[in-house]
Amino acid sequence: MAAAQLSTPIAVNAAITAAGANEFPAQVATPAPDDSVVDQPRVEVVATSAPVIRPTRAVVIGDPTLKVAGIGDTLALFSAQSGFSVTDLAQRNRLTQSNVLLVGQQLRMPQPFTPKIALHRVAPGDTLLGIAAQYGLAPYVLQQMNKLPCADCLVAGQLLRIPQVTVEGNLPQPFAQIDIDPPAPIAGEVVSIRAYTSAPIQSFEGKMGNTPLNFYKKAEGLYIAIVGIPALQQVEVVDINLSAVTDSAAKTELQGRIQLTPHNYGFQNVFVSYGLLPLLNPKLNEAEQARLDQIYGKYTDQQWWDGTFKYPAFGDVTSTYGARRNFNGGILNTYHSGMDFRAFVGTPVQAPASGQVAAVEQLDVRGLVVFIDHGRGVFSAYCHLSEANVKVGQMVKAGDVIAKSGNTGRTEGPHLHWEVAVGGVQVNPATWLASAVQ
């Protein structure tokens, strides 16, 4: 999922067109998205934006003393499994909170990490004799290893150290492995969470911060959720919580923490003509964003797209995603919620991937818009159109002509504004052009 530079050259025009999408008043601290573009030289570019190169999972080669933390990992688990003390691990890694680890965090171990001790979580009804038989050990060995005062001194949920067993991870059943890519997501990008299970489950739920995670069953034992990170997301650590219910109705929960990374997409001063000033009205923009939230917030438990997205139009990219914008000296503070293509009125607009037409609407700021649902909470929108060639509910595939570009809505010149939203969040379309998001 790591993004690279776009495979098609991009020409970013400093004279950016001025359209706009949902924007909030200047006094509001968090700007709303906008799709402004101007063909006339009315934009003062303070800091230009560029396509984002996404970070990949940190891979340490040839250093067996480094351990990379995953979801659910704690120093206590590493200590119990490896035999290194929690205090020593915390001191060596200068940790003030010994049990707060971030996904992807690298820990220096005193010696090469070789997990020769398995961890067994005691379930209701477990006995020391039964657990010992499960691992082919004598009961007294387990009692001594875990310093149990008696053979019956077990408590449900207690972790027992099981010696001389090589294990792959510390996750409780039915979780076998959790991959988060990228482990330190960039604002405006997409996070993929892949959960592998070792037993059939009835339900799988999760949250990242306050955002619900919708898990899609990709294959038996593999569940995937993707979630968008807002472009204006500030630096912070967010909690991620997962829960699975097995066929036997047993519920298992996992908690972890990930670091969100900001990105400087740049800043632009934009000036629109007198005739477009009414479209800078904050209430009008808030109402339009509310309608977008209704469309983008839907979820279909089916994936129609496959691989990378295609370009929706032939033409130079005149504005990329994420730049913060100040309209007409402070009437409106926004950010650019998509990607703009130079396109004369009537230029064919193509679907970049397969999906179902979710809506065709005339909006104040975005003009005539076609929305496509690609499944699993992924939507795309095509704005400022002169004509729509599809109907709601129609299935389309990559390359199908769905509309013609135009000059409708808040725009000072014909162009195509393209948005991609994941889980209700408008994200960077360049990611979908550069790599296959799964």
Q: Is the omega angle on the peptide bond into residue 185 within 30 degrees of 0, that is, cis?
A: no
Q: Are residues 275 and 396 part of one domain?
A: yes
Is pLDDT larger for residue 78 or for residue 288?
288
* Residue 352 covered by a domain: yes
If phi > 0 it is left, if psi is from -120 to 50 it is alpha, else beta; for residue 265 that is alpha
Among 76-90, 183-197, 297-311, 358-372, name the one with the lowest average pLDDT: 76-90
Task: Please name which of 114, 51, 105 lies closest in space to residue 265, comparing C-alpha atoms.
Answer: 51
Whole-number average pLDDT of the chain? 81
* Residue 18 covered by a domain: no
| Whether 47 contacts 95, CB under 8 Å | no
- HSE at residue 115, side-chain half, CA atoms within 13 A, is 14
255's enclosing H/E stretch is strand 251-260
Are β-strands 236-246 and 222-228 bridged in parallel, bridged antiparallel, or unpaired?
A: unpaired
| pLDDT, position 201 | 87
Task: Please name which of 348, 353, 341 lies closest in space to residue 10, comparing C-alpha atoms.
Answer: 341
As a whole number of Å, the end-to-end CA separation of the chain is 8
357's enclosing H/E stretch is strand 355-363
For 414-433, write each residue's pLDDT tens digit.
Answer: 999 999 999 999 999 999 99
What's the pLDDT band for 62 if we cut at 50, 70, 90? low
| Residue 408: pLDDT over 70 | yes
What's the pLDDT band for 158 if we cut at 50, 70, 90? confident
Cα→Cα distances 294→297, 303, 365, 421, Å: 5, 20, 17, 12
* Residue 4 covered by a domain: no
| Whether 232 contacts 33, CB under 8 Å | no
What's the pLDDT band for 35 if we cut at 50, 70, 90? low
* Residue 57 covered by a domain: no
Q: Are residues 302 and 237 part of one domain?
A: no
| pLDDT, position 9 | 34
The DSSP result for 394-427, as a single string, is -EE-TT-EEEEEB--SS-SS-EEEEEEEETTEEE
Q: Are residues 293 and 219 part of one domain?
A: no
Q: Are residues 402 and 278 part of one domain?
A: yes
- Residues of the chain with pLDDT > 70, as a percent, come to 82
* Residue 49 covered by a domain: no
Q: Are residues 304 and 181 part of one domain?
A: no
Report the CATH number at residue 194.
Answer: 2.60.40.1930
| Whether 438 contacts 224, CB under 8 Å | yes
Which residues, listed in sequence order, are joined to residue 350 by a DSSP beta bridge?
A: 401
The total number of structural domains in the chain stands at 3
What's the pLDDT band for 413 if we cut at 50, 70, 90? very high
Q: Are residues 192 and 107 part of one domain?
A: no
Cα→Cα distances 400→110, 173, 245, 407, 438, Å: 58, 45, 41, 21, 22
Report the CATH number at residue 288.
Answer: 2.70.70.10
Region 106-124: mean pLDDT is 76
| pLDDT, position 164 | 62
Q: Are residues 150 and 274 part of one domain?
A: no
Region 5-14: mean pLDDT is 36
| Residue 49: pLDDT over 90 | no
* Residue 197 covered by a domain: yes
| pLDDT, position 32 | 56
| pLDDT, position 401 | 98
Q: Are residues 191 and 133 part of one domain?
A: no
Distance (Å, whole) CA 82 – CA 65: 12
For the beta carbon of residue 283, count every other beta carbon within 10 angstroms: 8
Q: Indicate the residue type of 151.
A: A
| pLDDT, position 198 | 83
| Residue 375: pLDDT over 60 | yes
Q: Final residue of a domain: which of 121, 141, 163?
A: 163
Among 17-31, 161-175, 242-256, name the one with the lowest average pLDDT: 17-31
Q: Final residue of a domain: which of 229, 260, 291?
A: 260
For 255-291, write each residue's pLDDT tens digit.
Answer: 888 988 888 899 888 888 989 999 998 889 999 999 9
Q: Are residues 252 and 105 part of one domain?
A: no
What's the pLDDT band for 48 if we cut at 50, 70, 90? very low
Is pLDDT larger for residue 136 or for residue 397?
397
| pLDDT, position 357 | 98
What's the pLDDT band for 385 if we cut at 50, 70, 90? very high
* Residue 16 covered by a domain: no
| Residue 14: pLDDT over 60 | no
Report the CATH number at residue 130.
Answer: 3.10.350.10
| pLDDT, position 347 | 96
Q: Which domain holds residue 209?
A: 175-260
Q: Are residues 298 and 254 part of one domain?
A: no
Q: Are residues 280 and 393 part of one domain?
A: yes
Q: Are residues 228 and 151 part of one domain?
A: no
| Residue 180: pLDDT over 60 | yes
* Residue 55 covered by a domain: no
Q: Final residue of a domain: which of 142, 163, 184?
A: 163
What's the pLDDT band for 24 if we cut at 50, 70, 90? very low
Six-digit token pair at 55? Answer: 């970070």
